Structure 1
């Protein structure tokens, strides 16, 4: 069971990395309609004619904060899905069958967001950029909610029969616990995005971002605490209190740091809180990977869904060699693009003057 347990931990680690890194990408996308609006952040020295009040420039600043890293952050999801498919084929098959519609919506949202981000600057018209902004928003809000709903259902368990087939429908997934999970990821990512923008921007936008972070921090703490306590009391055990307590302490530090305008500390604390929350979900699952609400005898476990020892051995060798390289490269990317961005650094739009010109 050593390799099976190891790959369960690897899958958990990959999803932790995805939620921590992609979480602030989603947050930035969700906050674009608000932080990208034409306002001065309460600064009376900023007039409506200044660049700081230009909605398009504000939105371009927001996109430039994630521009060098958002696609690399999505690789964590691709890797997690690939590892899940290769290491636990039974888990992958049943879960993707049960979550077919939610995962389809997540996939559509991610595709729309990718296209909108990549193509927003290609045509320099208000209508084109507006529709791209809509795509970025939908591609951020939809996954931010549905990821929480999906993982809460994995923990809660699904109606699965003896053949490991899902026997429920779409509305079986919309329980109070699952919806609370969706609210938790939504608020956590919104706060994560606001704090990240506070860390990565300067001037009026940085002030606006931290103001949003202050407003979002306390509701995020309350909703996340309710979700984690429900998870622990309903599905956890004695040792799973460890990640729950870590998440709680980190969330409290995040709230205090946002009130003190300590965006760096707030961002680190929120990263730890999200990582500990996702770790809690995997910890309460172990050794199951997808419990059956029909009969516990039908539970999907690490043992009855894992691949052969040979497959896991080959995967382990590849992971040991390649994972440090990938992590080092992504860390280097973050280091290169570590500086803050301000409106003054945004050049004039360079896209085509119309869609007809491109055609």
Structure 2
């Protein structure tokens, strides 16, 4: 088999890249080591920047998003028992975010790809990129006990933090930057109405909390917890009691509780690998970077990576120019590091760290007080939250 581009990974970044390239007549094959049902069973975040929404519109995968997604013009920060609204729409001159689950984005992109008759191979075992440092790269995989080979011009590694793409690059050819945070997020999904029509980020002496949603009837809530906590130690009653303690009284009293149908603990880290190009292998999305979810940047960074990479590949096939390919890594990393900084800043401002004590709490409260009382500071927050321009 031969394809112009082989995409490893059928999450939203790989699928979006495939659709952008298909729109320009570039051939792609997508490989994934797991099944379609497994991918659609994963629970992920769901705050979309306007740039991400526009890309989904461009590839014809935004109809359901506009029917079912929840546009948000702001969110609230709570601390010292008070709530303060950040007016995203007003502070940015008309920008907003869309709340729509990443699983739904993935489903929509899968449907769009299937409707176009494009090739995705699921449950492809032992996927391995080869010879990407030369002119004739190829990818091998196993399916039903048979080894297959796909020759190609380029390989796009969109297979996440634990995928094979980045690991196939010699360690000496890449530099990695990482910050592992000393806590995790315990999250639940429950079929209860959200406590507010917008997100609430809470800073409290007991730890961070986040009130989010997937729809008007499904809520997604989180509390900061120690890394060594076990999910089985957190009953639903314990979770609801804890999150209410971390919210202002008027918010806590309005919260509707109910049984959870998903509960998990996720560690937090900041991670970037440089560069993002290795010959004819390009990394995009979580294969190249991870951010803590506090700033809602993970999926959105993947989308901007894919935008830059698709432009570069289309330019190569249309104009026979490698300028975009040569500049891809630097262009993507410039935006990535700004988002990593924002996510790190939000995380350090909103969470309790075990080594900062009362002094650290007072510094956080002073910063939050300045943030909500200064229009300039609130504007900087809003501009980063809705997404910096591509």
Give me the TM-score of the superposition, normalised by structure 1. Answer: 0.27
Structure number with the bigger relative contact order (C-alpha 8 A, sep ≥ 6) is 1
**Larger strand proportion, structure 1 or 2?**
2
Give me the TM-score of the superposition, normalised by structure 2. Answer: 0.25
**Larger helix proportion, structure 1 or 2?**
1
